[in-house]
Amino acid sequence: MVSSSVPPATRASASGRAYINDELARKAWAVLSANNRSGYTVPSPELFPFQWNWDSPLVAMALAHIDEERAFVEIETLLASQWESGLVPHIIYHVPSDGYFPGPEVWGTDRQPPTSGISQPPIAATCLRYIIEMSADSDAALKRAAPLVVNLLRWHRWWHEARDPEGTGLVSILHPWESGRDNSVDWDEPLNAFEPVVDVSKLRKDRLHVDAKQRPSDVYYDRVITLIQLARSVGWNDLAMVQSSLFRVCDVGVQSILVRADEDLMALLRLMGDQAGAKQVECWHSKSREAIDRLWDGEAGAYRAFDLRAGKFVPSTSATAFLPLYAGAVDETKAKAIKELCDRAFTLCIFAMPQVMPDTPGYDPDNYSRGPTWPYLNRIIADGLSRYGFRDSADRLRSDTQRLIARSGYREYYNPTSGEGLGGDQFAWTAAAWLIWAGLVEKEQS
Ligand code: GLC
């Protein structure tokens, strides 16, 4: 399917949609059009030239406001690469490219098209529900979504079973990249607990595209590739991976996104009349929602990642501390504590929300997941804040995001103090985050 590249401005009169007259939205659409590869959208043409698991559904949410066909295709293409086990891989290498490391040869997963062997935050069910709700013909949209819902049920099962074989309700990640916050300060202690067995400094390609100061260190890369080699050595077998991995952590972000997605998947299954499927998801949902409470670090007064190998919380508070709101899993006292954390971050930053709280040791406002503000995450955090009635805080995130984009364009991430644009350029999910926000405002006004 070749999607329309007609700029929204010329479609505005036909659809009557207010947001498409917005200059930023017009530019956002230009980014999504330029990154369109007929079937999927690349996050950034040079830095990330393939399909990424959780970028795609967020892009699809934005597309739902403009081009529903392309929105569906984005998710269909993603789920077409699902493994028999239920895993939906974090990268799908649809076409060869020598501008990215690690390529398929490092993973050795033997798939066609080639894929990585790990997953990413399971946000797709939430995005699919959104697309259906946005559709002008929700019956037809639901019908089209039916096979995707079957895929999603299998993927959620994979998370709840393969990544929680003991049935605790807390799922684990076996690689920092599964969190989608690749080199967060959160992963420093768990990663520093083992020695790397490779040196990949000469193989890296990221620094050809982005200033080294904004990217992870060499020893970090050596460790994350060591983890890939280890998983490959056990043939990507789920249980063997859990048993042998040198990194096993419960991430507040993945857990919260999964719980929210369970809720949305349950709603989709009910709409489709699949009561047995809905019942199954309801069991996972209630157990995993309750388990979020175990990620509350009473001493820190915040939700934090838990390192299962070390048996302790990581010593950092990151932006995922807000996401239990997004999961609808927070009581009144904790909601109040989260709101205070949010207010504190607002006083510490001109452009919130930093990926890691600025008073955390290791915070770096220019380096990737170690401090900068990421618009896609702002969008998710704002969703949770609104869910608990913290509208002013959600609005602050919206206006900070808008100011960042207006100042520095559609970059991958931004310095929370100067607003400087960092990382990749022409970034798809940054454009998507803005289009979703603009589209929702339009919806509220209509
Ligand atoms: C980086 C991010 C990850 C994202 C990918 C593509 O690896 O950490 O979350 O999915 O880039 O944008």
User: What is the 149 CA–ligand 1 centroid distance (Å)?
Assistant: 24
In a domain, 16, yes or no: no
Q: Strand 91-92 vs strand 51-52: parallel, antiparallel, or unpaired? A: antiparallel
45 belongs to a structural domain? yes
Q: Tell the burial category of 244 from Cβ atoms under 10 Å away from its Cβ (0-12, 13-18, 19+).
A: middle
Separation of 127 CA from ligand 1 center, angstroms?
Answer: 17
Ligand 1: does its nearest atom lie under 6 Å from the Cβ of 216? no
Q: Which residues are catalytic?
A: 182, 412
| Residue 217, domain member (yes or no) | yes
Per-residue pLDDT, 440: 73
Read off the CATH number of the domain in which 253 is found: 1.50.10.10
- At residue 438, the pLDDT reads 87
Residue 430 inside a domain? The answer is no
Q: What is the DSSP string of 228-243?
A: HHHHHHTTT-HHHHHH
The ligand 1 atom at the shortest distance from the C-alpha of residue 43 is 12
pLDDT at site 1? 32
What distance in angstroms lies between residue 180's CA and the mean position of ligand 1's atoms?
6
CA of 224 to the centre of ligand 1 (A): 14
Q: Is the CB of 413 under 6 A from ligand 1?
A: no
Please check whether residue 412 lies inside any domain of the structure.
no
pLDDT in tens, the chain (446 residues): 334 444 343 333 334 344 556 889 999 999 999 999 999 999 999 999 999 999 999 999 999 988 999 999 999 999 999 999 999 999 999 999 999 999 999 999 999 999 999 999 999 999 999 999 999 999 999 999 999 999 999 999 999 999 999 999 999 999 999 999 999 999 999 999 999 999 999 999 999 988 989 999 999 999 999 999 999 999 999 999 999 999 999 999 999 999 999 999 999 999 999 999 999 999 999 999 999 999 999 999 999 999 999 999 999 999 999 999 999 999 999 999 999 999 999 999 999 999 999 999 999 999 999 999 999 999 999 999 999 999 999 999 999 999 999 999 999 999 999 999 999 999 999 999 999 998 776 666 66
Q: Is 54 in the pocket of ligand 1 (CB under 6 A)?
A: yes
Atom of ligand 1 nearest to the CA of 179: 9
374 ligand 1 Cβ < 6 A: no
Is residue 2 domain-resident? no
Before 61, cis peptide (omega within 30)?
no
45 lines ligand 1 (CB under 6 A): no
C-alpha dist (Å) from residue 166 to 86, 162, 297, 408: 18, 9, 22, 46
Minimum-distance ligand 1 atom for the alpha carbon of 424:
12
The number of folded domains in the chain is 1
Identify the domain containing residue 327 by its residue range: 23-406+417-424+435-445
Task: Tell me if 92 sits within 8 A of 162, measured CB to CB.
Answer: no
180 CA closest ligand 1 atom index: 9
Q: What whole-number distance in Å separates Cα of residue 29 and Cα of residue 35?
A: 10
Per the listing, tokens 């955390």 go with 360
Terminal Cα-to-Cα distance of the chain (whole angstroms): 30
Measured in Å, residue 322 CA sits from the centre of ligand 1 at 19
Within a domain: 244: yes
Distances (CA, A) of 12 to 6, 21, 66, 102, 284: 11, 7, 10, 42, 43
- Residue 11 placed within a domain: no
Q: Which one, of 120, 194, 188, lies nearest residue 370 by Cα? A: 188
Q: Is 52 in the pocket of ligand 1 (CB under 6 A)?
A: yes
Q: Which residues on neighbouring strands pair with residue 302, listed in sequence order?
A: 297
* Alpha carbons 24 and 290: distance in angstroms, whole number: 40
Global pTM reads 0.95
Tokens encoding 80: 């077409």
